């Protein structure tokens, strides 16, 4: 589905379905932000309740974890948004 990291191929290599008409726009990023907030905030609260990690380390650990998780989630979430548009015949999939 993807020609590059977040650039979709113009068509599916298996069935030829055109992918140019999708309109995922910023929605995958909003979903990733929502997911990361719900993953990281409870984790930060629980880790801080259980351990006494110095603030300097936390200033490195949490943003790094957020960046890694965002990079790991953005492509599958964008694929999911495009798949949902395809399944509902939305955007350019009419």
Backbone angles phi, psi at 28, to 5 degrees: -60, -40
Give, as one character, the DSSP assignment of residue 7: P
| Spatial separation of the C-alpha atoms in residues 76 and 9, rounded to whole Å | 15
Distance of closest approach, residue 50 Cβ to Zn ion, in angstroms: 46
Interface of this chain with Zn ion, residues 2 to 61, rule: CB under 5 A = 12, 14-15, 17
Half-sphere CA count of 38, side-chain side, radius 13 A = 5
Whichever of 49 and 94 has its CB closer to Zn ion, that residue is: 94
Give the nearest distance from C-beta 75 to Zn ion in angstroms.
17
Q: How far is the CB of 82 from Zn ion (least distance, A)?
A: 11
Residues in contact with Zn ion by the rule CB under 5 A: 12, 14-15, 17
């Amino acid at each position: 589905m993807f020609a590059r990291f977040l650039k979709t191929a113009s068509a599916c290599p298996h069935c030829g379905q055109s992918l140019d008409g999708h309109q995922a726009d910023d929605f995958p990023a909003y979903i990733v932000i929502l997911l990361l907030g719900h993953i990281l905030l409870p984790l930060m609260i629980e880790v801080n309740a259980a351990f006494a990690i110095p603030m300097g380390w936390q200033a490195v650990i949490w943003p790094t974890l957020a960046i890694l998780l965002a990079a790991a989630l953005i492509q599958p979430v964008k694929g999911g948004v495009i798949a949902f548009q395809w399944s509902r015949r939305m955007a350019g999939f009419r």
